Structure 1
């Protein structure tokens, strides 16, 4: 689907589990690698033949497969089955049986915490393996990926365990008509749909609270990044989840839509584009299924006139081009005072040109390839559009030299950008950043910056850079966005994360995110005599 400009509208045999839950034959299988050459160094070709359904390795209902391709070499690095509607039916049925039987939902919280802690510990032990596998699939620079793809996910598991242990599951209240007992009970069967850019971070954001709350989960992983989903299924099986509690299915959008519209699903948690989120909400509404949506962003980093330029540029640059520009929270609009625009244009241009582009598995790489050829073309189309709109390319603007293969786009910075331009309003999801000047005169020198930051259909993230922390906090209060940082960029897994406006519905992380997987029940008690 396009909008008329050519720019997409977004967006060996596995055995039954044995003691450790390791699928037989899922080890590297170089004999199955394509004949035209080996995959990238350090990433052996891996092939899986079965699906993880309800905790058991099962033959898929169909024979369709997903070829996992390196965005650097453009060669296959693995192959997995493509789950079908019939596989979704089996996974949802297993989840429904397990939830209704109460073996997991009804067991003491301490037991659920113990099992999830084992998942977390196993993830920690294999965190570097997860990071490398994810980098090979989606192009995240490995050095950054250890933190962004693995350690950040580990922090999510840790934080959810803390929240679950301290959460008020029951409380007595003095109601208007007498005493009441307010309970929070597990929501039921959860369909968790995660994207390819941060697959384990988003999986942890859904799985950790859902499992701790007592839900059964069908995790639908992206066809671009299914291999790390198999690693997660392995460690979950080793941890001792009861049968039926967790399924992991790699599949495309059509099967995802079938899952979120399934009548036996009680709760959907989705991370992805706004267009896909709208479709998820539409399909889920047929059964009044509850939804949490974490969607896109076009976040603004606001530099105030009193900010230290060295601090601001060094602090913003990694989070403007993070994950090769493929992050919903990326600071893709940089707002600078007009009085200092030339200085910041020079500084950010130099920062963009100084980023090391190359093989994501090279420790020196700071910006790797985009996940797929379609994403590269999307970025190149937006760069052409920005030029047509009258913006100036200050850095980048094409494919990097010295990369004969791979879906690479140079780290690109546009200057002379007006907030009405499409490159400033639409989520590009590539390494294309906009530098926007704002007028900093008058009684309120940040009024126009706040107006521009708020002039967006999105409201997910943002930051402000200033010598006066209290002034920064004042700006943070005035910008309508779900997460905001002063003189830094951060996500705290013990605090709620989510978006205003088109950036989503509901929250993840903290007690607020945990509560998304619980239903409220009121029990009226007899009046005390």
Structure 2
């Protein structure tokens, strides 16, 4: 039997999720709200039915988090105790790694070839980084001041309070960990809400939290549709809202947070450019770029979906791209050779196709890929490279969240930078060129929260993630992420 990093490649029976429950005030609790059917996007079959929280349970989760923040063991927990708790959570996920992999492949349709490393191992690594970061001394000594009288000052950092953490469906555990780990390291308590499309892995995490002896109320997990998320975010007991998802919903979250003047951390997606500078070795670069935006079915916020190619290499780029597309298998996520699995829902698959069709109707051309694969079931769409477009076209400006990229030629680097910045998003940008030093000199000209040069690296657990423009507010990951859940407190006193 084939294996991926120790994970057995078998589609589990649906009974493995039959006992998953909410976590409220330290107790695993059956949801009293409507049932949510979880559908495997590869088979279109219902694999689990989850009891959502009702509004009373949502209110209880917030009240429990409030009480745990203000009283009890968590209110007085030391940085070492916080770090130890986060470590236990990481250990619990690692111990049940196979279950998390199998669950995410099933509920998301993410290919198993990448699910373990990206969807499970990254959260474990990031939690361990948060555990260490919890120990850091964050106070600052300002020193002596003499106007109008002698005084001394320090700045300390205090936890903001109760955090509502809402994760998107595409990386259900990782996106929640970015919020959960940082908030716990800061000393906050959390009400976690997964996407109703992918709740199973988060409910599995609820069991890990219980087994890790998380004090009652410190982390609560509730599931529901938009009404339950709203019941939490609009609750005055919540001090800060952290959300990953679409711009439209992010705007709603900001409006909800305005009541009570509460803070937000928002990661709202991107339309990332990839500039192939003149002289780039296209043979070595282009296949990786295409696989990068096709990975996870293109359901990734930092995907390089606007490719800019110097006009002198345009024909070569197209030839290499067509060959590269032959090496991007689409199909069963349980097949270890698959790179592109299904879209999360039928409606989302149709939406992706509508973007392509609208562009073609306007004169665009599909240079590689397109259409659907021949499968008996599943919401699949083949990757597509679309050319003969203008950067102002909708397909170039809106986040499609599917395995679709546009490509445009440019004549000068200045023009490429201008096109790259002509976007309401600013999450990530990619630069490829024969000289990394020269490429790095272009990075400050790009309005993007992260710039990756010649491939960059992985998703570091000690580097900030976030963006300019509508890509969001604030930053996640690393010390920047922890500071989002802390408030500076200035303490001053008179002295001789």
Name the TM-score, length of structure 2 as normaliser.
0.94
Unaligned runs of 5+ in 1: 1-39, 441-445
* Counterpart among 201, 215, 228 of residue 228 in structure 1: 201
| Matched residue, 1:165 | 135
| Matched residue, 1:251 | 224
- In the TM superposition, what is the alpha-carbon distance from 1:114 to its structure 2 partner? 1.0
Is 1:481 aligned with 2:448?
yes
Q: 1:426 to 1:169 in 2, by over 3 A?
A: same
- In the TM superposition, what is the alpha-carbon distance from 1:461 to its structure 2 partner? 0.6
Give runs of aligned pairs for residues 389-468 of structure 1, distance below 5 A: 389-401=362-374, 403-440=375-412, 446-468=413-435
Unaligned runs of 5+ in 2: 1-9
Is 1:93 aligned with 2:60?
no
| Matched residue, 1:271 | 244
Other structure's SS at 2:14 match: coil
Distance (Å, rounded) in 2 between the aligned partners of 1:300 and 1:409: 22
Q: Does the 8 Å CA contact 1:66/1:82 hold for their aligned counterparts?
A: yes
Q: 1:94 to 1:525 in 2, by over 3 A?
A: same
* Counterpart among 26, 31, 36 of residue 55 in structure 1: 26
Distance (Å, rounded) in 2 between the aligned partners of 1:82 and 1:350: 46
Distance (Å, rounded) in 1 between the aligned partners of 2:128 and 2:430: 26
Deviations 1:314-353 (A, max 9, x none): 3312211121100011111111111111111121222223
Distance (Å, rounded) in 2 between the aligned partners of 1:102 and 1:190: 17
Is 1:138 aligned with 2:111?
no
| Matched residue, 1:24 | none
Q: Does the 8 Å CA contact 1:61/1:86 hold for their aligned counterparts?
A: no
* Counterpart among 464, 467, 476 of residue 496 in structure 1: 464
| Matched residue, 1:522 | 490
- In the TM superposition, what is the alpha-carbon distance from 1:473 to its structure 2 partner? 0.6
Other structure's SS at 2:222 match: strand
Q: Does the 8 Å CA contact 1:48/1:81 hold for their aligned counterparts?
A: no
Other structure's SS at 2:290 match: helix
The root-mean-square deviation of aligned C-alpha atoms, in Å, is 1.5
- In the TM superposition, what is the alpha-carbon distance from 1:175 to its structure 2 partner? 4.1
- In the TM superposition, what is the alpha-carbon distance from 1:305 to its structure 2 partner? 0.9
- In the TM superposition, what is the alpha-carbon distance from 1:42 to its structure 2 partner? 3.0
Q: Does the 8 Å CA contact 1:414/1:432 hold for their aligned counterparts?
A: yes
Is 1:78 aligned with 2:84?
no
Other structure's SS at 1:332 match: strand
Deviations 1:119-162 (A, max 9, x none): 11111222232122111111111111111101111221122123
Q: 1:476 to 1:280 in 2, by over 3 A?
A: same
Q: 1:99 to 1:310 in 2, by over 3 A?
A: same
Other structure's SS at 1:321 match: helix
- In the TM superposition, what is the alpha-carbon distance from 1:43 to its structure 2 partner? 4.4
Q: 1:267 to 1:173 in 2, by over 3 A?
A: farther
User: What is the total number of aligned residue pairs between the two structures?
Assistant: 482
| Matched residue, 1:202 | 175
Q: Does the 8 Å CA contact 2:331/2:373 hold for their aligned counterparts?
A: no
* Counterpart among 81, 90, 93 of residue 120 in structure 1: 90
Other structure's SS at 1:166 match: coil
Distance (Å, rounded) in 1 between the aligned partners of 2:442 and 2:193: 38
